[in-house]
Amino acid sequence: MTPEKAFWHAIKHGPSEKTRTIACENPYFAYQYAKEVDKCPHEDTKKAACKKPYYALIYAQEIYKGPEDYIGNILAMNPEFAYRYAKDIEGPSEKTRKGACINPYYAYYYALEVDKCPHEDTRKGAYKSIYYAFEYAKNIDKCFRKDAWEIIKQDERYKKKYKKRFISQMKGAII
């Protein structure tokens, strides 16, 4: 029996260990089994759904309807899903911030939309990209910072934009 057939069999005849085990061979059907058959979390379906970050995220959203440690730890290893889990489910935490900060895009958006303020970890993550270093300075720090300047001045386009935006704050700084 395939995971899909096991799922549909359980829909028609009710849950069983046999159909749950088979459905859990596929993350999508594990998630669907928890949602439509069990109508609650189950350790087997949770672990199977967590084999794919997308299904782990929606398992937390739709089955747990909130944060869950095992799922949070799994998603914290993936920058996109660490950010999405923090933004949509858990709120800021060290584990999701650390995961998001692997990628400058997610580090920047974590600071902007999850922390809603500067944080040393998100700044360091965003600074891996000149573009996101500039965006971080402009939209999150909202002030001149020497460490941002050291990164941004490497690109003429952003160097000019940064100087124009923060010229009054740069007096006395080495330009």
What sections of the chain are H helices per DSSP?
A: 3-13, 17-23, 27-32, 43-49, 53-58, 69-75, 79-85, 94-100, 104-109, 120-126, 130-136, 146-152, 156-166
CB atoms near residue 125 (< 10 Å): 26
pLDDT in tens, 106-128: 999 999 999 999 999 999 999 99
Q: Is the pLDDT of residue 76 over 60?
A: yes
What is the DSSP annotation of 111-157?
IIIII-S--HHHHHHHTTSHHHHHHHIIIII-S--HHHHHHHTTSHH
pLDDT in tens, 8-42: 999 999 999 999 999 999 999 999 999 999 999 99
Dihedral over Cα of 66, 40, 81, 54: its sign: negative
Q: What is the mean pLDDT of residues 145-167?
A: 92
Mean pLDDT of the chain: 95
pLDDT at 72: 93
Q: Are 107 and 122 in contact (CB under 8 A)?
A: yes
Structure tokens at 35: 């949602």
Residues above pLDDT 70, as percent of the chain = 96
Q: What is the pTM assigned to this prediction? A: 0.89
